[in-house]
């Protein structure tokens, strides 16, 4: 019997309980630890939201400064990490390269990976390094040398700096920071579920994130954003949008979106992105 006929679909199945976020699909509301997403994306920086999700409360000024210092210390790539990225093929999908790089980082973890302080250390390291690794991979693929992070800049600004090689303007930083806040927590989506399954086997954090990245690449998950962007580029200008969409409908083409499928009305994340677009 084909797997499709076995009803192996977990859509709508309750798999766990979380206090990190509340996703109200019918009403289009999303909150992190009790805070409205739109308010966080508008008034809090990404690093504050990370602290909120890790510790359950927004940081004090001293706690935020300490987190910023830790990110700044972990953000640069070591010589071994840089060598690894230089050895990866420049062709193929970027997510494949990033997944491979994260998997290789497992060899640099503390020996006792299940101790709580080590898990937090590895999580902080991955959070800080992943944007630098991604921007470095892009630059190497384009025949450019990597750019060293600036310890005085935040997460969003450093990603734009290490990607483009120039200091970003405030509007670009604000828009990216808001987008990162929107993506920080969306309940038990499929990549989060996969990461939890891997972690439940008492596996290391790098392995869990590697599995999540492999899942995120999928066309019906994070890959939808990639295909939506390709559609935007094909449309070209706003004036072409209506006719282009009508033609897609006539050809019965699948249209990929950038919102969360659980929302039955407007995705508040998309609405916040639209606010950033108007800056």
Q: How far apart are CA 61 and CA 81, in angstroms?
A: 32
- The band of 250, judged by pLDDT with boundaries at 50, 70 and 90, is confident
- DSSP E strands in 149-215: the ranges are none
Q: At what angle do helices 241-250 and 223-235 cross, to 10 degrees?
A: 120
- Say whether both 100 and 230 belong to one domain: no
- DSSP secondary structure string, 23-80? EETTTTEEEETTEEHHHHHHHS-HHHHHHHHHHSSPPPHHHHHHHHHHHHHHSSPPHH
- Say whether both 26 and 125 belong to one domain: yes
Predicted local distance difference test score (pLDDT) of residue 257: 67
- The band of 76, judged by pLDDT with boundaries at 50, 70 and 90, is very high
What CATH number is attached to the domain comprising 186?
Answer: 1.10.580.10
Residue 10 inside a domain? The answer is no
Question: What is the average pLDDT across 142-164?
Answer: 97
Residue 146 inside a domain? The answer is yes
- Say whether both 62 and 196 belong to one domain: yes
Predicted local distance difference test score (pLDDT) of residue 27: 64
- Say whether both 137 and 240 belong to one domain: no
How large a percentage of the chain has pLDDT more than 70?
82
Instruction: Using the 3D structure, point to which of 165, 196, 219 is the last residue of a domain.
Output: 219
Kindly report, residue by residue over 22-72, the tens digit of the pLDDT.
877 666 678 999 999 999 999 999 999 999 999 999 999 999 999 999 999
Residue 63 inside a domain? The answer is yes
Question: What is the average pLDDT across 98-109?
Answer: 87
- Say whether both 244 and 131 belong to one domain: no
Predicted local distance difference test score (pLDDT) of residue 113: 66
The residue with greater pLDDT, 136 or 250, is 136
Is residue 1's pLDDT more than 50? no
Residue 65 inside a domain? The answer is yes
Q: How far apart are CA 119 and CA 139, in angstroms?
A: 30
- Say whether both 127 and 240 belong to one domain: no
Residue (of 111, 109, 110) closest to 81 by Cα position: 109
Kindly report, residue by residue over 112-132, the tens digit of the pLDDT.
666 777 888 889 999 999 999
Is residue 3's pLDDT more than 50? no
- The band of 152, judged by pLDDT with boundaries at 50, 70 and 90, is very high
- Say whether both 208 and 254 belong to one domain: no
Question: What is the average pLDDT across 193-222?
Answer: 89
Residue 195 inside a domain? The answer is yes
The residue with greater pLDDT, 189 or 13, is 189
- Say whether both 119 and 255 belong to one domain: no
- Say whether both 53 and 82 belong to one domain: yes
Is residue 270's pLDDT more than 70? no
List the domain range (segments joined by +) for residue 179.
21-219
Residue 269 inside a domain? The answer is no
Is residue 215's pLDDT more than 60? yes
Question: What is the average pLDDT across 14-19?
Answer: 75
- Say whether both 231 and 260 belong to one domain: yes
Q: Are 173 and 160 in contact (CB under 8 A)?
A: yes
In this structure, of 182-191, 202-211, 266-275, the range with the lowest mean pLDDT score is: 266-275
Domain count within the chain: 2
Instruction: Using the 3D structure, point to which of 164, 191, 219 is the last residue of a domain.
Output: 219
- DSSP E strands in the chain: the ranges are 21-24, 29-32, 35-36
């Amino acid at each position: 019997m084909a797997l499709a006929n076995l009803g192996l679909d977990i859509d709508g199945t309750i798999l766990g309980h979380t206090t990190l976020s509340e996703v109200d699909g019918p009403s289009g509301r999303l909150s992190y630890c009790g805070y409205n997403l739109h308010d966080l994306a508008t008034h809090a920086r990404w690093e504050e939201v990370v602290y909120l999700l890790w510790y359950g409360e927004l940081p004090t000024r001293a706690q935020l400064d300490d987190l910023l210092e830790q990110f700044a210390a972990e953000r640069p790539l070591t010589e071994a990490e840089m060598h690894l990225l230089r050895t990866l093929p420049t062709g193929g999908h970027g997510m494949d390269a990033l997944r491979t790089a994260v998997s290789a980082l497992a060899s640099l973890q503390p020996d006792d990976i299940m101790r709580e302080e080590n898990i937090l250390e590895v999580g902080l390291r991955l959070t800080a390094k992943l944007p630098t690794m991604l921007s470095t991979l892009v630059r190497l693929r384009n025949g450019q040398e990597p750019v060293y992070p600036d310890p005085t800049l935040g997460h969003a600004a450093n990603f734009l700096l290490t990607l483009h090689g120039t200091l970003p303007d405030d509007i670009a930083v604000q828009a990216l920071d808001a987008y990162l806040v929107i993506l920080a927590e969306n309940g038990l989506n499929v990549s989060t579920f996969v990461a939890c399954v891997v972690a439940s086997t008492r596996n290391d954090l790098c392995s869990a994130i590697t599995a999540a990245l492999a899942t995120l690449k999928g066309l019906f998950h994070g890959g939808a954003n990639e295909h939506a962007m390709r559609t935007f580029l094909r449309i070209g200008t706003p004036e072409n949008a209506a006719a282009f969409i009508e033609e897609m409908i006539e050809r019965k083409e699948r249209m990929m979106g950038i919102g969360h499928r659980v929302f039955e009305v407007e995705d508040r994340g998309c609405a916040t992105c639209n606010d950033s677009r108007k800056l």
